[in-house]
Structure 1
Amino acid sequence: MFLRNERSIKEFFRLYPIVSWIIIIQVVLWLLTDVIQTPLGTMIQYWGIGANHLISQGEYWRLFTAIFLHGGLMHVLFNSFALVIFGPALEQMMGKLKFLAAYIGTGFIASLATYLIGPDLYAHLGASGAIYGLFGIYLFMVAFRKHLIDHSSTQVITVIVVVGLLMTFLRSGVNVYAHVFGFIGGFALAPLFLAGVRPYNPWVRTRPVNDGSIHFDPNRWQKKQHNNQLIKKGLWIFLGILIVLGLFGRLF
């Protein structure tokens, strides 16, 4: 469910345009604000960061814009990587509009909680609240929509959520409000976003092609079992990378 099998970046973009555009936008904004550091980038950073004292003065757009801004290579890299892994299945299952609403909606909840609970001089940026919102939706599947998620994915998402939430409180420099309330927002809104959805099918293609060369494969079940083993290995490798990055780098 989480291991990508697309044959090219072009195919990934065609199948998951919302995930792709979100990544493009946040990478471009990071380049402008953190790498190239142009006057435009400086202006975007100033007007987009989630500064609580400015939000309290009526600049409410910051509750949304902060979701797409990042500070540092590891920050944007990890959030983009997490979106590539966990976003596609939800985009296919829920559809483009629902997925976009879920991502921005949980990110907004995370920013709003940061504003309402955090100190007046607190400032934040990053997509971690929205990413944890996706985790909340997945955990709702695990608890109440078991037919939408396979057993291996259930184990992986459960471990990742537990590790992520534990590290939220164990490490310094983390926006705890965004992590916790982004997750709660995703879990709470999951029944709305998951209404009527079907289980994720990794073999779906938006433009299927049948050239007459498709034949019955008597070894298909052995291949499927082998692929499942590869998926498990890949997911545990990702989990290891997640833990290492969380221990030694500032991700959110």
Structure 2
Amino acid sequence: MFIRNETFYSYRKNYPIITGLIVIHVVLFLWVNLSRYTGGLIPFGWTIFQLGVGQTGLIASGEFWRLVTPIFLHEGMSHVLFNSISLILFGPALEKMLGTTKFITVYLASGILANIGTFFLTGPYYSHIGASGAIFGLFGVYLYMVLNRKDLIDSVNAQLISIILVLGVVMTFLNPGINILGHLFGLISGAAIAPLVLFNARPFHMQPRRPASSGGGVAFNPNRWQKRRIFSGKRAARYVGWAFVILVIIGIISRLF
């Protein structure tokens, strides 16, 4: 569910919304920073950034577009890398399960609600950017699946997403400069929206159907929650270890840039 083995071409073809979001992340990031550090040789980038930041006081004065635009803006290299990689790994299953309209709805609604929560609970000079609230909204959908829709996620992936969620929440409180409220409101928003968008969802499969000789049913084992309990031991520790390594690498990159 979260292991990517597609080619670049097949990934773009199978997950066009996620691909489009990542392109927006990278293009805006490069545009803003090249404009900022080249003394204006590349026009409008820094203006876009200034107009798009989620600034509480400006939102209160009527600039309500700032509840949406921060979802697509990033400033630091580690910020855009972390959010884009999170989308690449954890977005595809939901894009296939929900479909284009529902996926976009969950993503944008979670991000906007996260920014609304931030707006009401911060002072007039507080500023924030980033897709983290929207991405935590996707995690919120997965959390709802783990708790209430076990027919949509197997036990291995349920335990993996639980580990990632715990790490994400812990890092939210440990890392300086993170919009804690945005992360938490995004997670809660995604979990709250989940029942509305999952009512007719089907489990995600890299190969949706078996060959006709096997009966043509979906490749889905209804007893999968009773198997592979070994994941809770060494494999869980391995995932935690790799997650820690990834976080360390991202921390090093952030210091370099």
Query: TM over 0.5: same fold?
Result: yes
Q: Report what 1:116 is aligned to.
A: 120
Counterpart-to-counterpart distance in 2, 1:204 and 1:36: 45
The Cα of 1:248 is off from its aligned counterpart by 6.0
Q: Does 1:26 align with 2:30?
A: no
Return closer, same or farther for 1:147/1:106 CA change in 2, 3 Å cut-off. same
1:5 aligns with 2:5: yes
Q: Which residue of structure 2 lines up, in the alignment, with residue 183 of structure 1?
A: 187
**Once the 2 structures are TM-superposed, how far is the Cα of residue 36 of structure 1 from its aligned partner?**
4.3
Counterpart amino acid of residue 190 in structure 1: A
The Cα shift of 1:173 comes to 1.2
Asked whether the equivalents of residues 76 and 254 of structure 2 are also in contact (C-alpha less than 8 Å), the reply is: no
- Preserved contact between residue 2 and residue 235 of structure 1 (Cα < 8 Å): no
Cα distance in structure 1, aligned partners of 2:170 and 2:240: 18
What residue number does 1:16 align with? 15
Distance 1:28 1:242 in 2: 24
Aligned residues: 230
Change (3 A) 1:17 1:44: same
Following TM superposition, by how much is the alpha carbon of 1:194 offset from its aligned partner in structure 2, in angstroms?
Answer: 0.9
- Cα offset for 1:242? 4.2
- The alpha carbon displacement at 1:193 in A equals 1.4
Measure the CA separation in 2 of the matches of 1:124 and 1:31.
18
Cα offset for 1:238? 4.7
Given candidates 81, 95, 101, the residue that maps to 2:99 is 95
Letter in 2 for 1:87: G
SS state of the match for residue 203, structure 1?
Answer: coil
Residues 104, 148 of structure 1: alpha-carbon distance in 2 compared, 3 angstrom cutoff: same
Counting only pairs closer than 5 Å after superposition, residues 62-211 of structure 1 correspond to structure 2 as 62-204=66-208
Q: 1:151 to 1:95 in 2, by over 3 A?
A: same
1:243 to partner: Cα distance:
3.9
Contact 2:141 2:190 in 1 (8 A): yes
Q: Which TM-score applies when normalising by structure 2? A: 0.82
Matching of residue 48 in structure 1 with residue 55 in structure 2: no
Please state whether the residue corresponding to 2:90 is helix, strand or coil: helix
**Number of the residue aligned with 1:244:** 248
Output the CA distance in 2 between the equivalents of 1:3 and 1:153. 10
Displacement of 1:62 = 0.8
Q: C-alpha distance in 1, partners of 2:152/2:238?
A: 21
**Percent identity of equivalent pairs:** 44
1:74-133 residue CA offsets vs partner (Å, 9 max, x unmatched) = 110110000000000000000011001111110001111111111110000000101111
What SS does the corresponding residue of 1:146 show, helix, strand or coil?
Answer: coil
User: Closer, same or farther in 2 for the Cα pair 1:237/1:97, shift >3 Å?
Assistant: farther
Tell me if structure 1 keeps the 8 A contact 2:128–2:179.
yes
For 1:109, the aligned partner's letter is L
Gaps of 5+ in 1: 211-228
Which 5+ residue runs of structure 2 have no aligned equivalent?
37-41, 212-230
| Closer, same or farther: CA 157–83 of 1 in aligned 2, 3 Å | same
**RMSD between superposed Cα atoms in Å:** 2.7
Cα 1:247–1:32 change in 2 (3 A) is closer
CA change 1:116–1:74 in 2 (3 A) is: same
CA distance in 1, matches of 2:65, 2:189: 19
Cα deviation per residue 1:17-48 (whole Å; 9 max; x = unaligned)?
Answer: 00000000111000000234333101110111
CA distance in 1 between counterparts of 2:86 and 2:238 reads: 14
| Distance in structure 1 (CA, Å) of the matches to 2:130 and 2:53 | 9
User: 1:190 Cα deviation (Å)?
Assistant: 0.6
